[in-house]
Amino acid sequence: MRATVIYGPHDVRIEDVPDPVLVHPTDAVVRVTHACICGSDLWAYQGVAKREPGQRIGHEFLGVVESTGADVTGVKPGDTVVAPFVWSDGSCEFCREGLHTSCPVGGFWGQPGSDGGQGQAVRVPYADGTLVKLPSGLGDAELVKILALSDVMSTGHHAALAAGVRKGATVAVVGDGAVGLCGVLAAHRLGAERIIALGRHDARTALARRFGATDVVPERGDEAVAVVRELTGGQGAHAVIEAVGTEQSMRTAIGVARDGGAVGFVGVPHGGSAGVDIGDMFGRNVALRGGVAPARAYIPELLADVLAGRLDPSPVFDSSVELDGVPGGYAAMNDRKALKVLVRPNGGSV
């Protein structure tokens, strides 16, 4: 089969790789119909996050089950499924508590020795604990909506929950990438009364407003903190979503939080810990929660809303390519010419 591999900074290629096969009786093989490029993939593309030359890449996908091991009972060949960005057994203590990302036998797609989501097929370990079966007969538009649940929508939801978003709350969202925009959508879904989106790219802030943002703040750093505080009568936001992962974004998130509020951080940290001022947070009773999102715990709830027509994160996909176009998709996202690129490794056929 063909799949996306990364060799180094700005060196993403499409190559022939071995077809996935069942290794353990708990495995499944999924033919990928829909995948995408994540903003966190850009850290590897830029050389900030290290990868082994030739390592697979991509962690968001859905598709059709082609084969299953003898112990798999939850899905069968022909079923359409969506995978969260981490596999897990679904039965350990952490999985039962809804923290699938801490499963002792879990892992991330694209890690050494595993398939990446940006390929024609994937071997799925612990298929029963990982895959979520979808209703039959869904059209392409519905599948694209559901694809967002594999990571960015679930991650935005995780940030909103971690920040304590509630009905009537004022929420600030730091970051106008796909996760930040899904954080806006998640805050709106949870009933926030006011949502302040911090971003400076017109197309993205327009989408933030479409998703429920009531205010847009293009300033950055101390200027952004001052504007948010002015908008909130000097108090700040009850809940803050941090969706970038840099030192500046973390400082901004803590700075715009209201006393007694909370920051939900889901931006993959790259120097972000330097922005945590424990003394300031202590004095103002600001909480810090978040981390890697247990998407497998959230997908069923969010899926129900997608299927009912109450939730549509699909507008975050503003570009679409087939497999040969993936390297160009990385370049477009890196140059901010695309927000999030949809990938159809097999032409999108279900």
Q: Tell me the pLDDT tens digit for each residue of 145-171.
A: 999 999 999 999 999 999 999 999 999
Give which of 141, 143, 152, 122 is closest to 38, Cα–Cα. Answer: 152
The answer to which of 2-6, 73-77, 276-280, 328-332 has the lowest mean pLDDT is: 276-280
Query: At how many degrees (to 10) do helices 202-211 and 178-189 cross?
Result: 20
Q: Specify the pLDDT at position 348.
A: 56
Predicted pLDDT at 52: 93
Distance CA 104, CA 30 (A): 23
SS3 for 325?
A: helix
Q: How far is CA 255 from the centre of its chain?
A: 24
Pull the structure tokens for residue 22. Answer: 């069942």
Q: Is 51 left (phi over 0), alpha (psi -120 to 50) or beta?
A: beta
* pLDDT attached to residue 272: 63
CA distance 49 to 250: 19
Compute the distance between CA of residue 170 and CA of residue 258 in angstroms, rounded to an integer.
Answer: 9
- At 30, give phi and psi (nearest 5°): -115, 130
Confidence of residue 270 (pLDDT cuts 50, 70, 90): confident
pTM of the model: 0.96
Residue type, 238: H
